[in-house]
Structure 1
């Protein structure tokens, strides 16, 4: 019986602490949304290198992707589950098999490539843009290797990739510069892309979009 007051006191403390948690403590923030992304580009565009940099890993040891690989890119505002497809000609004929259930597309362009390679890149890019599974998702085109001498600029790449008409049809397409030597800018670009995905797919955003407009 002598232990009864101590037990009661302990139970009271536990009850008070639980009540304090329920009333005063801040709830944990909800987890970041996850989006399925397809990453395309012909061989030597730099896809694997850029994804490695985004994971804060050493890009010097990367090897070309033969088939495909899946990597999680953790950003402050989202997790991008990126499926990178190999860019060799024999693999590109199977790209479209991986286009379903995709929230967005990234296409990496080697802007230091030859005219023939740029033509090949343009053909593959437009083929992917026309695919029904990718025609309505946000696109991010990375004009890569901007740290290499003789690389065409973002504006020049826009012309060589014949994107004037495409941007009128794909309003969610963005062209951005990138290089393996500028990790910070690459992260900013990816966070911008994730914000666009969030605006399109977040249930909270969609709920706000459906709210009736009120006069001011």
Structure 2
């Protein structure tokens, strides 16, 4: 018998994953969870997938990005700790304008305010793919988001699993830091803490 204690509990984070149809949301999540890419089907309504990392578990709710589904996205908004928005790097100017509208419409929603945002520029390895810098500029993220939340735009490919794992590992650190800040804020605002300050 070994005297080793139980493994420390990993925190669970509820994450919202959205983006236009065909941007590769389901494929990215399949790669991260070790599923067969060839069996991935487009998400029509929503799907939930748990992705395990060494330091935490992400419970990702992915919403379908079709034209008939997007008007109902906000019905699925709930208590989340982070947002992943996926963009097709080679999207046309017209599609990018649609991305911009849908992204900021979501970010302005009361239940999503202030949450860490990871914007993934997917299919970065295809011809005509825009760089993360180009997408940042095109969507005017500096101007529209500024310092209202943690955010980052990163290029990725579903054919680079290690790269995706690294991107998510860094995003997980943002989630952890945000959680710690929130816990500290709640401690400082607790009645007991306020009372001790007055004594």
TM-score normalised by structure 1 residue count: 0.81
Q: Secondary structure at the match of 1:112?
A: coil
1:146 aligned onto 2:124: yes
1:80 aligned onto 2:58: yes
Matched-pair contact (CA < 8 Å) for 2:33–2:52: yes
Q: 1:209 to 1:196 in 2, by over 3 A?
A: farther
Q: 1:209 to 1:27 in 2, by over 3 A?
A: farther
2:139 corresponds in structure 1 to 161
1:24-62 CA-to-partner distances (Å, cap 9, x unmatched) read x44223221101001000100100000000011221221
1:68 aligned onto 2:46: yes
Matched-pair contact (CA < 8 Å) for 1:199–1:206: no
Distance 1:161 1:182 in 2: 25
1:179 corresponds in structure 2 to 157
Q: Secondary structure at the match of 1:89?
A: coil
Q: Secondary structure at the match of 2:54?
A: coil
1:3 corresponds in structure 2 to none
Compute the displacement of 1:210 (Å).
Answer: 6.5
1:109 aligned onto 2:92: no
Compute the displacement of 1:181 (Å).
Answer: 1.2
Instruction: Count residues in correspondence.
Output: 188
Matches within 5 A, 1:1-216: 25-202=3-180, 206=183
1:112-171 CA-to-partner distances (Å, cap 9, x unmatched) read 111111111111011111111111111110011101011000100101111111341433
Structure 1 unmatched ranges of 5 or more:
1-16, 212-216
Distance 1:208 1:101 in 2: 18
Q: Structure 1 runs of 4+ off > 4 angstroms?
A: 207-211
Distance 2:16 2:55 in 1: 19
Compute the displacement of 1:209 (Å).
Answer: 10
Bigger CA radius of gyration:
1
